[in-house]
Amino acid sequence: MTRIVRVGVTFPPALLKDFDEIICKMGYENRSKAVQDAVRMFVSERKWLQEKKGVQAGILMMLYDHEVRGLESILTHIQHHYTHIVCSTMHVHLSERECLEAIAVKGDAAEIRKLSDELSAKRGVKILKTMLVSV
């Protein structure tokens, strides 16, 4: 028998509203099942990224809130530590608060993974999607 563990999660109100609207349209009966599915997708994607080896090329797509104090400087500083794998960066202003950055990378999968992990863990980074192909 599988044991269930209860956890508490906090959400910004707008994100929770969007989440509730989407899961309602999808037919979910409760948030728990939807959150479990979202976590499964996250774990699956990260496991896949952990398994990549050798030289890879791809894009790190990052959505972040540029109103978070010092975030842009931190993100730039992190990228400067990975100049050996960062090929190019495109910055797009989406709204008053949100920016989209596409970071083209090429290099060892482990280094790309470290860069992706460092960027995604920063407060204010809303989404970081990693798309890689073997070279």
pLDDT tens for 42-98 read 887 777 777 778 899 999 999 999 999 999 999 999 999 999 999 999 999 999 999
SS3 call for 80: helix
User: Nearest to residue 60, comparing CAs of 120, 126, 123, 110?
Assistant: 120
Strand pairing category for 125-134 and 98-108: unpaired
Strand pairing category for 55-65 and 98-108: antiparallel
Highest mean pLDDT among 1-5, 20-24, 44-48, 96-100: 96-100
CA Rg value for the chain:
17
Token pair for residue 109? 């999968």
What is the pLDDT at residue 2? 76
How far, in Å, CA of 115 to CA of 109, rounded? 10
Report the greatest alpha carbon distance in the chain.
Answer: 50
What is the pLDDT at residue 46? 74
What is the pLDDT at residue 112? 95
